[in-house]
Structure 1
Amino acid sequence: MRIHNLLIRNRIATENNITNIISKHTNLLTAISNDNTVKNQLSLLSQRIEYVRPYQEAFNIEILGISDLKGNAATTYNDSIENISYRRYFQQAIENNKLTISNLIHSPISNSYVYIICKPFANSVEGGTIFASVSYDEIKKALSYQENTSIKNNLLNDYKGTQNNCKNINILKINKLYTSLDSTKISYNIKNKIAFSYYAINNKYQIERLTLHQIKNTPWYLVSTI
């Protein structure tokens, strides 16, 4: 039970860390998307992006950008107009009329990896999007809680010796017990984003617990093992 509680606490803390990072960006995009001077279709994109720069400086975000419905975009980084209509995150945001997060992409600005959050303008007749970069290092730092050594040490101190060995698997009275990790079933669940929580006995006769949960307000799922 203590392993179970530690895993839950660890997972929830990690999910909250990531959710806070994403929420900081989505709240900013929501505020900008309601700014009439930014979404004013009578002004050129190159003019409207100037109203966005103070937001970027205040929140220390690498890139903020706006686009029209055709995918022509202006960013706080580049003075020229770029077409992003081919980018999947833009297409999804426009097609589904909701916030979208890109796959991990490389940023030539900082020579690092980022995600792009793209949000349609709120209540805009002509349409268009507002988008921002999220540093992968921020997300990676949030995920590092999964590797928290205090959690590991806590477990090691509590479960030293033979208590951590379970050669007799009947001591665990639970339906979701696997004598080995069923990789086919687990792969299927991950691919189809089916949340799960399994106990398993590994090849060292130790208990393992594997879980998959969706992180709120994102298309991401967190896989946790302990």
Structure 2
Amino acid sequence: MRIDIITVLPELLESPLNHSIVKRAQDNGLVEIVVHNLRDYSQDKKHHRVDDYAFGGGAGMVMQVEPIFRAITALKEERDYAEIIYTSPDGEKFAQPLANRLSMGGDLLILCGHYKGIDQRVRDHLITKEISIGDYVLTGGELAAAVMTDAIVRLIPGAIGDEQSALSDSFQDNLLAPPVYTRPADFNGWKVPEILLSGHERKIHEWQFQQSMERTKRLRPDLLND
């Protein structure tokens, strides 16, 4: 799998994409992540400008259509993408089922929004999917791209040593994960539930499912209505 990310601030993606599971997945050849500086596609050779004032007035600058078109066109000449994604506050809400689908769908191209947004013609003619990671506004789409990349990469077979771990994560079955414990079994009188120490696998699984249901009903009842 390959993920290409187009941004005006590639430095913001250096740390999130070069540590932990995402780095190991790249080192093991499971995924290739390439960050592209949009300014490299600007025709302004002196200042590498990629934004301009909005037609009709209003505060804020708008990312221009031309450098984005040049960048996406150049990358599409090299490979086919399952999705060309724009990180947008008004896009589809990013959730675990979408991460699952994107992890199995093929190569991805992510365009990070910035400033006041991008020229609408990019969204109309080049983007295949718009995604939001939440109902709030960030300075740019770089952090959103990092969040999506992390969630997608960890689902690629082999990225996590114990693949069952990913399957038991919160939201996989529209349920929050149950509480987890480790040694010592008794700390300051705070004890691990006896059922987890029993070794009775079926009863443990039943307890974990009950805990997941209770926690979801209490904290995220909306998940049970999806």
Query: Do these two structures clear the TM 0.5 threshold for a shared fold by scoring above it?
Result: no
Work out which structure has the larger RCO, using CA pairs closer than 8 Å and 6 or more positions apart in sequence.
2
The structure number with the bigger radius of gyration is: 1
TM-score, normalising length: structure 1: 0.32
Which structure: greater strand fraction?
1
